Amino acid sequence: MKPLKLLGLFIIPMGLIIAAVPQNKTNPYKLTAEEVLNEANTRNQFVTADVVADMIIKKDPTLRLIDVRSQEEFEKFSLPGAINIPSASLLSEEYADILNQDVKMNVLYSNGTLAANEAWMITRQLGYTNNYVLEGGLNYWFDAILNPQKPASTNPDEEFAKYDFRKSAGQALGGGGLTVQAASDQAGTSAKPVVKAAAKKKKAAGGC
Amino acid sequence: MSMSTSKEIKQTKYLNPYLGGVLLGLVLLSANFIAGRGLGASGAIKSVVATTIKAVDKDAVKTMPFMAEYAESHGSNPMKSWLVFEMLGVLVGGFISGALAGRLKLKVEHSPKITSRRRLIFALAGGVLFGFGSQLGRGCTSGAALSGMAVLSLGGFITMMAIFGTAFALAYFFRKNWI
Amino acid sequence: MGPLAPNELISENTNFLFAFLIGIAFGFVLESSGFSSSRKLAGIFYGYDAVVLKVFFTGAITCMLGLLFMSLFGWIDLDLVYVNPTYLTSAIVGGVVMGAGFIMGGFCPGTSFCGAAIGKIDGMVFVAGLFLGIYGFAFTYGWWEKLYMANYLGEPKISASLGLSDGLFGLILILAALAMFWVAEWAEKKFPREAY
C-alpha cells in the first residue's frame, strides 16, 4: 500500500480517538494514604490561634488565611484578610495556585477543626506544602482571643502573659484601636512554622 | 547504494519520509518525556556565543543587555546546557547515519547551474540571516516550529508559518540557485 | 509520571546524558531522511521534493499524538512540559528573517549540523553564518530589545486560542497535513528532479 495511505490509516483513527475522549484533568496523588495518616498524627499541621493573631497584628506578609466554609458563612464573619475557598471547590483549578505554592503560609480554618483538617489532608495527598490548620478553628478563636478568660490568680505567669497578649490582640482584632506593642514577646510558646520554600516543580527551560 | 537501473532516476537511499517523520516524532516525544522540553538547535549556538563573549569580556553581563538577559535564564556555565549536549549528539548521529549510508564526502552541494562560490556565499548569507532571525523568533525550525507545533504552542506555530511563508514568497527570486 | 527531569525523577547530569543520546537519534533520523542535503531541503519551495513537509508534519503530529495519549493514560503531566512563549511581534519578524535565510542558505540550524557532519562544506559555511548572525544580534541587542519583548501573550496553545480542545485541534491538524501530503505527492510527480 502507498505509504501515505498507510500513514493516514493509522493517524486518522488516533486523531478521532483523541478528539473524542475528554482530557485527563485529574490531579495525581503524591503521597500515599499511609504517609498522610502519619503526618496527620504528628499534628504538625496545626497552628495556634496565638501565633496567627500575632501574625495578623504584625501584618506578617507571609500569612494567608483561607476560610474553607461555605460562601454564606464566610460573608457573615471571617478573619481579617481571609479568602474563601469552600471545601467543595478545593480541587478546582482556580485555587490550585493558591494552595500549591511556596511563598505564603496558608492557614486553613473552619468553625471547628474538622473541615479545615480534612481540607489540609487533601492538599497533602496532592503533595502541596505550606498549608496549615488553625487549631480550634473559629470557635476557639472567639473564646480565646476575642473573649479571653482571665486566669485564676494561682496560675503560672505564662498564663497571665498569654492572657494579656490575647486581651490586646482581641481588642486589636475585634476592631479596637488599641496599639499592641508588648504583645510581641508573649506571642505564645509555639514557634511559628516557617514557609517551606519547597522545591516547586518548575517547567524545564526550552526553546531555541 | 546510489546507482540503480538506468531507467530510474539516480536515487540516494534515504528513509521513506513518512517513516522518517514517525521516527523524528518519537525522538521528539522522548525528549518531551525525559526532559520536559522539545528539541532545538539555535540555542546551542547561542550558548557558545555567550560563552565566548563572557570569556573575552568578563563584565559583559553588566555591559551587554543581551548577556544579562541570557544569564537570567541560564546558569553560570552557559555551555552546560541541554541544547549543547543535544547538538553534539546531532553531529555524532548525523555522522553515523552518513557513514552507514556511504554519504560521507567533503563537498559543496550546489545546483550544476551555479558555481560553488556562489553557493557558499548564499550559504553564509543565509546562515547570518537565520542566526539573527532565530534569536528574534526565540527558536528555529527545530525548536520553535517542530517542537512548538508538537506542544501546540501558538508562538511556535506563528513562527513556523512566517518561516515557510516567507521562504515560499521569496523562492521565485532565488530559483536560479536551486533549479 | 513524566516528564522525568522536571519531576526530579532523574538528575540533571542524567538529563544531559539523555540530551546527548537524543541528539544522536535526532541527527541520525534527520540525516537518514535526507535533511543533510540543502537541495532536498529547498525542494519543497519548488515542488520537486516534499521531504521537509512530510517529515516535519509527520514528526510534529506523531509527537503531539504521543503526548496527548500519554496524558490521557496519566503517564505525563502536560503542565510541566515546556510550551514556547508567544511574543507576537518578534515571532513574526524572526520567522520572516529566518524564511529568507532558509531559501537563501537551504539549511536551518539542525540540518546544517547534519550536513556539516557528513562533509557538506555549504553546511559548515551555514553554521559559520549562524554564529555571525547571533553575534550580530548580541551586539546590536539594544536596537531590537523593544521589538523582541513586544506583545507578550503568555504561553497560549493554538487549540485554546481557537477555542478548541487539544484533541479536536489535533484531528484537524492531522486532516490538514494529510491533505498537504497528497498535494505534495502530486507536485513531486509533476516536477521531478534528479534525487540528491
pLDDT tens per residue, chain B (179 residues)?
A: 444 444 444 456 899 999 999 999 999 999 999 999 999 999 899 999 988 888 888 877 778 888 888 877 777 777 888 999 999 999 999 999 999 988 898 998 888 888 889 999 999 999 999 999 999 999 999 989 999 999 999 999 999 999 999 999 999 999 888 88
Report the residue from A4, A6, A206 with minimal CB separation from B38.
Answer: A206
Whether A208 sits inside 8 A of B138 (CB atoms) is yes
Question: Do both C56 and C39 map to the same domain?
Answer: yes
With contacts defined as CB-CB under 8 Å, which chain B residues touch C26?
A: 24, 27, 39, 86, 89-90, 93
Q: Is the model's pLDDT at A23 over the cut of 90?
A: no
Whether residue A193 has a cis bond before it, omega within 30° of 0: no
pLDDT in tens, C14-27: 999 999 999 999 99
Under the phi-then-psi rule, with left for phi > 0, alpha for psi from -120 to 50, and beta for the rest, what region is C154? left
Q: Which residue of A has its CA nearest to C12?
A: A204
Using CB atoms within 10 Å of the CB of residue C37, give its burial: 0 to 12 exposed, 13 to 18 middle, 19+ buried: buried
SS3 for B2? Answer: coil
pLDDT band at A176 (very low <50, low <70, confident <90, very high): very low
With contacts defined as CB-CB under 8 Å, which chain A residues touch C185?
A: 4
Q: Which residue of B has its CA nearest to A208?
A: B139
Report the residue from B18, B74, B147 with minimal CB separation from A4.
Answer: B18
- CATH number at A104 reads 3.40.250.10
Quote the cell numbers at residue A105: 503560609
Helices C141-149 & B116-136 angle (0-180, nearest 10): 60
| Helix residue spans in chain B (DSSP H) | 17-35, 42-56, 60-63, 65-73, 82-101, 116-136, 148-150, 154-171, 175-178
Q: Tell whether A5 is covered by a domain.
A: no
Chains that touch C (3 or more CB pairs under 8 A): A, B
pLDDT at A43: 87
Question: Do both C36 and C100 map to the same domain?
Answer: no
pTM (predicted TM-score): 0.78
pLDDT at C136: 92
Question: Do both C5 and C76 map to the same domain?
Answer: yes
Measuring CA to CA, which residue among A131, A132, A130, A139 is closest to residue A112? A139
Q: Side-chain half-sphere of B94: how many Cα atoms within 13 Å?
A: 27
Question: Do both C45 and C141 map to the same domain?
Answer: no
SS3 for A131? Answer: strand
Question: Do both C148 and C61 map to the same domain?
Answer: no
Question: Do both C168 and C76 map to the same domain?
Answer: yes
Task: Using alpha carbons only, give the angle C54, C123, C98 rounded to the nearest 5 degrees.
Answer: 60
Interface residue of C18, C29, C168 to substitute, partner B, most B CBs within 10 Å: C29
Question: Do both C1 and C78 map to the same domain?
Answer: yes
Interface of C with B in 137-196 (CB under 8 A): 137-139, 141-142, 144-145, 147-148, 153, 155-161, 166, 169-170, 181, 192-196
pLDDT at A189: 43
Q: Tell whether A40 is covered by a domain.
A: yes
Question: Do both C43 and C137 map to the same domain?
Answer: no
Report the residue from C84, C90, C113 with minimal CB separation from B156.
Answer: C84
Whether A24 sits inside 8 A of C72 (CB atoms) is yes
A5 interfaces chain C, CB cutoff of 8 Å = no
Determine the structural domain holding residue C73 and report its residue range.
Answer: 1-82+159-196
ipTM: 0.93
* Number of compact structural domains in chain A: 1
